[in-house]
Amino acid sequence: MALSVTALSPAHEVANFDCGTDELNVWLRDIASQHMKKHISKTYVLVNDDEPGKILGFYALAIRAMTPKEELPLAVAKKLPRNVPGYTLGRLAVSKAMKGRGLGADLLMNAMDRVRAAAEYVGGYAFFVDAKDAQAAAFYAYFGFAALPSDPLTLFMPIADFPK
């Protein structure tokens, strides 16, 4: 099965996607396209090249508002300007049928590659994620993201620390 990640388009069957979390399903179905049209965020979908309309997983990226350095761990913050630019992983989900195959990790790495490429053009210090719960936060922590001291569900990784 050859898989690829592409920008969400009307050809993708958003109504049939089910990751097991209604909030994420509804966001993909009802909000993702609107956010893309308004340039709020961009959603990318994972598909099987043999069934390109069927969504196996997705993630959304957005520019993050400047983060005050006081929100970051002290060891990191002391080296930075008062406000820190970055990117946000707004959503990430894998369909129930495809869970347990490492596709969440694949989507995260794909998102990191896109952020790295964007940062080459416009800069940006870190990649932030707003985890929906402690289990999701643990997933990101496994890949090296660190929680903000003030909010354990908001994690970040300096772009310079991304895996090569």
Task: Please list the active-site residues.
Answer: 140
Helix runs in the chain, H state only: 22-26, 32-37, 74-77, 103-122, 134-142
Euclidean distance between CA atoms 6 and 153, whole angstroms: 27
Measured in degrees and rounded to the nearest 5, phi and psi for residue 147 equal -75, 145
Q: Which two tokens stand for residue 160?
A: 């310079």
Q: CA distances (Å), 163 to each of 132, 156, 157, 160, in order? A: 24, 14, 11, 9
Euclidean distance between CA atoms 131 and 129, whole angstroms: 6
Q: With H, G, I as helix, E, B as strand and everything else as coil, classify residue 117.
A: helix
